[in-house]
Structure 1
Amino acid sequence: MDEQQNHIIRVEQDGKMLILIGTAHVSKHSAEQVKAVIEAEKPDAVCVELDEQRYRSIMDGNRWRDMDIFKVIKEKKTTLLLMNLAISSFQKRIAKQFNIEAGQEMIQAIESADEHGAKLVLADRHIQVTFARVWGSVGFKGKMLLLSQVLAGIFSNETITEEELEKMKSQDSIDSILSEFTTYFPRLKKPLIDERDQYLAEKIKTAPGEKVVAVLGAAHVPGIRRELGKTQDLKQLTQVPKKSNWPKYVGWLIPLAIIAMMVATFMMNTDVGIQQMQSWLLWNGTFSAIGVAIGFGHPLAILIAFITAPITSLSPLIGVGILAGLVQAYFHKPQVADFEQLNEDVYTVKGFWRNKVTRVLLIVLFASLGSLLGTVIAGTDIVRLFISNF
């Protein structure tokens, strides 16, 4: 068997034998290959491309039961959770097409490590750190495009051939859903792939024992091989970027400017000032309410969005999405069954809307996007009326 062609690479490093297995995350062949290599090599340690969160996701089928949806909304983690679920949806759709289990090769690596008494090493960087560094690498336009790509991954009904499945070995499981996005933002490759290559390489070469098997997405193997000869600073690679202060300033300056223009216009022409206020109330409230309605929100959640969007748009302290989401979660509180069914429901668009957990997340997102659109339209109208009456 030609190991190079079968995505197996051997590297001697500092007296250790490191065996890198490049896999596709939804490939039955990859799982069989992982089992065969570990049985043949009997390594001292097995490294897997998982962090603690994803490891628990694989091993604990009931993990969703402990999730507090109110806490997720209040801590403003709905976008992060949606991205996690979107990636899960992408993998599950392909896995179901080929009647296999997503992440089967990682499950096999964990089981084989236990069977042969090898030390299991969770070698990947925490996914929340990766997303935080990705989020910090793009501007406002990039964030909107990123969300659109993630949502497109949810709504896509595309199927793939077995040949295309094997080609997925050249892509990372996270990168595969964002491949088009990375063409628009090449710098995204650094936190998404390059930094994780560095992190994985350091964890692999410092794994205990003289023989180490590492089970990885094949996209990482070339980069890891290059990085093995270098010393990586794991502390630096796991730092979450500090939030810049300028968005806070902008978040206050824009509302203050809008308020100032409306007050000035009122003083010059009361009728036009009233027209500005009506524009602000209607555009903001209407688009935010429409967003909640698209998510099949509770009538009171729709009403709350309509009433509060014009107010929250003038304050960066709280968003309309949080308020609408909390109201939705109160009147349609997710039950244990919703959390238990979450794994299956993220497989389809219908499931995303049917499940009370994901519906709350979508309402938070759509209410916020609707209010943002309304702010842009109403703000433009207010500036126009101000200039015309100056």
Structure 2
Amino acid sequence: MNQKNVDRIKLKDKEIILIGTVHVSKNSVKLVDEIIKKEKPDTVGVELCENRYKSLNSKKKYENTKITKIMKEGKTYLFLANLLLAGFQKRIGEDLKIKPGAEMIQAIKAGKNASADIVLLDRDIQVTLKRALRKMGFFEKFRILFSLIYGVIFSEKMEREVIEQLEEKDMITQMMEEFGREVPSVKTVLIDERDIYIANKILTSKGKKMVAVVGAGHVEGIKKHLKKKENIGPLEKIPKGSKWVKTIAYSIPAIFIGIIIYGFLHHKSIELTFTMLLYWFLINGTLSAIGAILALAHPLTIISAFIAAPFTSLNPTIGAGIVAGLVEAKVREPRVKDIQNLNQITNMRGFYENRVSRILLVAAFANMGSAIGTFAALPYLLSLI
């Protein structure tokens, strides 16, 4: 890594030294330390929020995790994605023998040694993740989860040269643009909005000279938004859930009942009605059970997913995954070490061996199976009429 990853920006009343880093690079750590010692800034800003800062410094960040609460609040996919991303980054860090986020910790340490004020520049991670979740469509959530799982399963050990290449700004920008094309709504929340937020925090921070340490992928966006202050109030709010999702969820029971009634009135056949109910039960239950099987659930959990799915699909307030997850948590109760070792998971085997993460996989996969079963069963029932 060299000085081309450092931008010196002079504004009317402030000088900003913007350092673009990679979160798992020893060169990034070294550069950050050297720049802060050399520049002796009034302020050092880092791309962290309060929660992420505590997470980097805490070895017990998951010990207060309540798995049942996560499932009941509909945060299963969010928590799984967080674990998958953290595990992937941790594995890269282990390959390079460096702790993820080490350059941010070093920036804070060097800043304190230089008697500089420390500013956490990033938006609260919970706000960012919740905004991303609310803006994602139904299939986008599945696509991202499967992409993350695929990456954990099939990504091989990365060579040092490959990681160091990620420090090239144009490569990072290209990656972000590709990600934006794949999932534009998420890219807006994870990248664009944070560029605006971080730039605004830099502009409003005290001091005449500031060193700002950010991920390389944010540099160009931050530079663009440093030209003027913007209102970040709306970016700190969590939008309401999509009305379309709720409409579809509450429409399914009505559609199902309508199909059953229409079939009975059209054919005057109780036998057909029972056949339609049977197929609804079998299709929905079987696919949810298959999801539980893929998560290596306990046999009782698989049975519960099979039985619950046909009924929960007609109830928008509860999913088959919640039922399956709660049963799995009951028959394979998480141990203290499972919670303590959540941040040590770096591969798919670890996800299956840890009882907490496996409960989340069970809940997610059972839900997916039930959802697929619902959308497969309704057209099939129509074909029977």
Please classify the TM superposition score into its range, dividing by the shorter chain length. Answer: over 0.9
Q: Deviations over 1:343-364 (max 9, x none)?
A: 222x011001001111011011
Q: Deviations over 1:91-146 (max 9, x none)?
A: 11211112221111112112222333322211111223223333344433323222
The answer to whether the 8 Å contact 2:295/2:365 transfers is yes
The answer to whether the 8 Å contact 2:24/2:98 transfers is yes
Which among 9, 15, 18 is matched to residue 16 of structure 2?
A: 18
Structure 1 gaps of 5+ residues are none
> Corresponding residue for 1:279?
279
> Corresponding residue for 1:33?
31
Instruction: Compute the RMSD of aligned alpha carbons.
Output: 2.3
- TM normalised by structure 2 equals 0.93
> Corresponding residue for 1:332?
332
Q: Deviations over 1:242-284 (max 9, x none)?
A: 2232322221212211122113323422222111111111111
The answer to whether the 8 Å contact 2:29/2:102 transfers is yes
Q: Deviations over 1:21-67 (max 9, x none)?
A: 11011101001111111122222221111112211110111111111
Structure 2 gaps of 5+ residues are none
Distance in 1 (alpha carbons) for counterparts of 2:357 and 2:88: 15
1:368 pairs with 2:367: yes
Q: Deviations over 1:58-84 (max 9, x none)?
A: 011111111111211111111111111
State how 1:235-254 maps to structure 2 within 5 Å: 235-254=233-252
> Corresponding residue for 1:182?
180
State how 1:91-130 maps to structure 2 within 5 Å: 91-130=89-128
Amino acid at match of 2:366: A
State how 1:166-315 maps to structure 2 within 5 Å: 166-170=164-168, 181-186=179-184, 188-267=186-265, 268-315=268-315
Q: 1:253 to 1:289 in 2, by over 3 A?
A: same
- Once the 2 structures are TM-superposed, how far is the Cα of residue 170 of structure 1 from its aligned partner? 4.8
Amino acid at match of 1:256: A
- Once the 2 structures are TM-superposed, how far is the Cα of residue 199 of structure 1 from its aligned partner? 0.4
Distance in 2 (alpha carbons) for counterparts of 1:283 and 1:32: 57
- Once the 2 structures are TM-superposed, how far is the Cα of residue 298 of structure 1 from its aligned partner? 2.3
The answer to whether the 8 Å contact 2:46/2:120 transfers is yes
Distance in 2 (alpha carbons) for counterparts of 1:356 and 1:14: 55
Give SS of 2:99's match: coil
Between 1:58-67 and 1:232-241, the stretch displaced more is 232-241
Q: Deviations over 1:309-337 (max 9, x none)?
A: 00000110111111111121222222221
Q: Deviations over 1:292-318 (max 9, x none)?
A: 122122222222111110000011011
Distance in 2 (alpha carbons) for counterparts of 1:78 and 1:38: 40
Give SS of 1:64's match: coil
- TM normalised by structure 1 equals 0.91
The answer to whether the 8 Å contact 2:325/2:360 transfers is yes
Distance in 2 (alpha carbons) for counterparts of 1:64 and 1:196: 25
> Corresponding residue for 2:133?
135
- Give the length in aligned residue pairs: 382
The answer to whether the 8 Å contact 2:134/2:242 transfers is no
Give SS of 1:62's match: coil
